[in-house]
Amino acid sequence: MEYKLPFSSDFRIALAFVFSNIVAFVFCYTSDMGGYTILGGTQRYRALCDIGVAEVTIELADDWTPQQRDEFLIKDNTHYGKWDMDTLANEWDAVELAEWGLHLPEPQEEKQEKESCPTCGKSV
């Protein structure tokens, strides 16, 4: 079963389609090692494979900039994604993430250990 969609490679139009619940396609880009890397729709792709769908329409994002791919990944996973907060906090721009709808939690202040007297053990 193959689904054809009236689609443009325009990044903004692609985002609109994702959020309108069209389910039988995935966004990919051509991998450096050959084949495709799924950019959006991994769970959808797995579910379609599980029910025996042999072909899935893909929309290539080869002309998207790395920033557009990053934005798409974040927006596509904002509501259902599992996040590695350490990676997001250390390797992504918090302002961009917030603009794309993902707000990182405020870092919790580490409790400072109180020094204690080596003789009596009371806090100093």
**Cα torsion 67, 72, 78, 82: sign:** negative
**Does the residue 53 lie in any domain?**
yes
Residue 4 predicted with pLDDT over 80: no
Q: Specify the length of the chain in residues.
A: 124
**Does the residue 107 lie in any domain?**
no
Q: CA-CA distances (angstroms) from residue 121 to 23, 75, 113, 114, 124?
A: 64, 52, 13, 11, 9
**Does the residue 2 lie in any domain?**
no
- CA torsion, ordered 79, 43, 24, 47, to nearest 10 deg: -130
**Does the residue 106 lie in any domain?**
no
**Does the residue 79 lie in any domain?**
yes
Distance CA 66, CA 68 (A): 5
**Does the residue 109 lie in any domain?**
no
The domain containing residue 26 runs over which residues? 11-99
| Domains in the chain, number | 1
**Does the residue 59 lie in any domain?**
yes
Residue 12 predicted with pLDDT over 70: no
With a CB cutoff of 8 Å and minimum separation 6, the contacts of 57 are: 2, 3, 4, 5, 24, 25, 26
**Does the residue 43 lie in any domain?**
yes
> Model-level pTM?
0.59
Mean pLDDT of 97-104: 87
Average pLDDT, whole number, for the chain? Answer: 76
Whether 77 and 27 have beta carbons less than 8 Å apart is answered as no
pLDDT tens-digit readout, 16-48: 555 444 456 788 989 888 888 999 888 778 877
Residue 116's SS3 state is: strand
Residue 92 predicted with pLDDT over 60: yes
